[in-house]
Amino acid sequence: MEKILSKEKLREWVGKLDGCEVHAPAFADSVWNYAPVQTGGDIDLSHTNTVGSVKAFAFPQREVFFRFEQAKGGAPVLTATVPEPRPTVVFGVRPCDGRGMPRNDKVFSAEFKDPYYWARREKLTLVGLACNEPHSPNCFCQSVGGSPHSEEGLDVLMTDLGDRYHVKAITPKGAEAMERAGDAFNEAGAADQAEVERVHAESRQQPQRPIGDLAAIPEAIKQNFDSPVWAEMAQHCIGCGICTFLCPTCHCFDINDEATGANKGERVRTWDNCQFPDFTMHTSGHNPRHDLGARLRQRVSHKFLYFVENHKTQQCTGCGRCISECPVGIDIVAVLERVGQS
């Protein structure tokens, strides 16, 4: 299904998604981030990429697995908290974020299907927006097999054609979301399709950060596993974890029991971070990644070596957030280039 949507009718489409939670990029505190859209509210799709990624809609930063309580002399009582979310539609998802979701899907169904992740994921519809031009000097989606108009992981792809959007349904969920708009859409003609192809072709010619031989990177990482270059490149790292918390595909988590009162509490999953010093701390006190260089090596290896070995694709989608938001300027593209030359 391919349709044309006048920009002035975007609000009408959103208004017909009754029963759904709707989120879209909003500009606040000097950054773009996803925010709820009120019924009948406007959506501004003039955004650069959001600071936070879309992964949080399926994999929230904190979630309760179950609650427990034990009365005096009695057996513990467990209350499961598997979510039952409302259908959620997210507008303005950039293709690099869309490509992140199938990678997360692999992780949360590889050995066993995570019921918490999938309860949200199956109710999630992602309405993507193609990038007509790079929104950061650190974009490199094409260098990792993507494109400014990739459909991977998205349910709908919108392309900005000036006064209107070309809107394409990619999945049945996407088609359902479009069908709810009724007559807000117009038919896409041959001239519209030609314009889409022109815009997409021009977007692929826009400058991006290049990566050399992507297929050679896993072996280069193996060959340089014990190289001092990791410590050298990580010497400015402050271990803040911004790079992985903002990444659309990083998925490491911790599980803790938190007391909420006398003899009761919650088992909670929270995001964790391979750049933190206690991430791999053993109970013996030994830490196999005791320094910043080892932790930088782990982050890069996970993206470009281990995930390739386990899932036959790179984990990185080239969004560039880890470069743009790093407070000390550590650059994963430059790291890959340096490792490849060592």
Whether the CB-CB separation of 294 and 230 falls below 8 Å is answered with yes
> What's the pLDDT score for residue 76?
87
CB-based contacts of 97, cutoff 8 Å, min separation 6: 49, 50, 53, 54, 55, 153, 248, 317, 319
Token digits of residue 172: 């049945």
Distances (CA, A) of 39 to 20, 86, 174, 181, 309: 10, 15, 20, 14, 45
From 308, 315, 340, select the one nearest 227 (Cα to Cα): 340
Helices (H) and strands (E) in the chain, counts: 12, 12
Q: CB of 57 within 8 A of CB of 101? A: no
b/e sequence 298-312, b meaning 16+ C-beta within 10 Å = bbbbbbbbebbeeee
Nearest to 242 by CA among 269, 216, 274, 214: 274
Give me the phi and psi of 104, to 5 degrees please: -65, -35
Domain positions in the chain:
2-57+79-204, 214-341
Q: Report angle CA 92, 98, 104 to the nearest 5 degrees.
A: 135
Strand order in the sheet with 77-80: 77-80, 62-69, 264-271, 253-261
What local confidence, expressed as pLDDT, does residue 295 receive? 96
Those residues with Cβ within 8 angstroms of residue 159's Cβ, 6 or more apart along the chain or in another chain? 129, 130, 132, 149, 165, 166, 168, 196, 199, 200
pLDDT in tens for each of the 342 residues of the chain? 899 999 999 999 999 998 999 999 999 999 999 999 987 778 999 998 999 999 999 999 999 999 999 888 788 899 989 999 999 999 999 999 999 999 999 999 988 999 999 999 999 999 999 999 988 899 999 999 999 999 999 999 999 999 999 999 999 999 999 999 988 999 999 999 999 999 999 999 999 999 988 999 999 999 999 999 999 999 999 999 999 999 999 999 999 999 999 889 999 999 999 999 999 999 999 999 989 999 999 999 999 999 999 999 999 999 999 999 999 999 999 999 999 887
At residue 253, the pLDDT reads 96
